[in-house]
Structure 1
């Protein structure tokens, strides 16, 4: 129990490398309404007042939450005007779902809601042997979402991310063609590796990335893609075009990074437990490689789902 409590607290206090790196200008007039609450406050909503599925509504993003699991459904960007907009000003579905497999465990406590004046929301709920936390920012880009899990048995949880029908995962050619190059980062250097992003066919700035911390992607052999490398060879990428799965440690999290932050060369998120937001932001120090638009068919990951 002691170890679980430590993992739980670590997970609930984690800050991702880019989880709060959204530019303040991208969050202008942002803020969420959830369970009838809005404006800066911290409140607990009793179980009897929590619907089985409830909406988190922001100016720039919106999504639904399954109350018993804290799985996320129908995550979308609204397309409301903002100078940091990446949608081209149109409502843009991003994820159909982000679902944790709790293997029989469920959440049944009051929902703790923390809303701030800076477009942040934190939702926390517990159940027997289980704690889930969702953090989000109502912003037009940047690190705007993360989901965290902690289990009393300290085992891992599989998260399944299913993209909206209009979105797809791809092997970013801008990274693949420079794989192995060394680039500056702050007072050191980093080596460029391959990068899997997601995008769509109608917004030239729309790009995102799954951002893990204490989590590993589960390779899918039924979605094996042969991707050409800069040396003339072939890289075997076992990743489907419409879904990804992640094995997340108790105390770990999965984040979502949108826009320019999703295509920068930066180190993995560091483990931190207290006021680590600033040290985990790149603050313009990273090389941004961008992505090709439209994405070539050869770099789109296939099939969409494992057959």
Structure 2
């Protein structure tokens, strides 16, 4: 079911007006045309043929690892175990949300000591035309990167595996900002731009780049209009979700039809409540 149909059905069930939140005809990443990842390591570029796979194991690495796809590009710096310049290319695709290269995340960088980083090596790299998995073995653990070369969907995640929680700092690209989605009450990020005119949209969410951070076994430590900090448990992950998958409907949300991202833009920082000292069970709803 398309996002437009899904939203219409949900809205009718809730007795509210349906609005399209992402480009018409959007679908999950698996429905996109295949991508074409190429990865450059130590000056050598690996670009497997369609339906083929390239594997690397236990390889010393010097310098930045460059990941270049049809829809997505980014760099991995072994010196920090961080991701830099995660960019949507705007390549022609029915599901694209931008029409020119747009940096979605300037960086996704873990806060680690020199001892924890050590001298990283590629423990494993599995590369297909539209899918890449890179695991870096570091001094005190390892960092796993998984990416898909699609125009939208759940197409990136970063997974630390260390003896303690790892703080990961997300910094948006210069044109993007975090905002409160009035439909859901949740925090999304976007650029507020019409993908055709590259001007501020005047007709609503359906013309805008839309995404969200997707944590698993992770706690938000800080939030402002451009930066989030997360504490991620070993084996947890920080993902990035773009387009349809970034939408979560909730009953009773207010409607927003014009420049919603701009008016709801997060300014300053959002306080993060302290963690509870003892788990408290949720109340049981009355019959």
TM-score (norm 1): 0.66
Alignment of 1:47-86 (within 5 A): 47=60, 50-86=61-97
> Residue 252 of structure 1: which of 224, 231, 236 is its match?
236
Q: Tell me: CA distance 1:241–1:110, structure 2 relative to 1, closer, same or farther (3 Å).
A: same
Where 1:264 maps in the other structure, the secondary structure is: coil
Flag the structure with larger Rg: 2
Q: Which has the higher contact order (CA 8 A, sep 6+)?
A: 1
Q: Is the 8 A contact 1:114 1:122 kept in 2?
A: yes
Q: Answer yes or no: is 1:114 the counterpart of 2:126.
A: yes
Q: Deviations over 1:232-270 (max 9, x none)?
A: xxxxxxx3001001010111110000001101349xxxx
- Pick which of 198-207 and 157-166 moved more: 198-207
| Runs of 4+ with deviation above 3 angstroms | 289-293
Q: Following the alignment from structure 1 to structure 2, what is the Cα–Cα distance between the partners of residues 305 and 114? A: 39
Name structure 1 gaps, 5 residues minimum. 1-20, 176-193, 220-238, 267-288
| RMSD (Å), alpha carbons | 2.4
8 Å Cα contact 1:25-1:84 kept in structure 2: no
Structure-2 residue corresponding to 1:273: none
Length-normalised TM-score, structure 2: 0.71
Unaligned stretches of 5+ residues in structure 2: 1-26, 196-206, 272-287
Asked if the contact 1:167–1:200 (Cα under 8 Å) also holds between the matched residues in 2, the reply is: yes
Structure-2 separation of matches of 1:291 and 1:107: 49
Pick from 195, 199, 217: which aligns with 2:190?
199
Alignment partner of 1:301 out of 258, 262, 266: 266
| C-alpha distance in 1 between matches for 2:261 and 2:126 | 42
Q: Please say if residues 66 and 76 of structure 2, whose CA atoms lie closer than 8 Å, have aligned partners that are also in contact.
A: yes
Are residues 1:38 and 2:47 paired?
yes
Q: Does 1:215 align with 2:218?
A: yes
2:145 pairs with 109, 134, 149, which one? Answer: 134
Q: Which residue of the other structure, out of 261, 267, 280, is the alignment partner of 2:245?
A: 261
Shift of the 296–93 alpha-carbon distance from structure 1 to 2, 3 Å rule, reads closer
Aligned partner of residue 174 in structure 1, secondary structure: coil
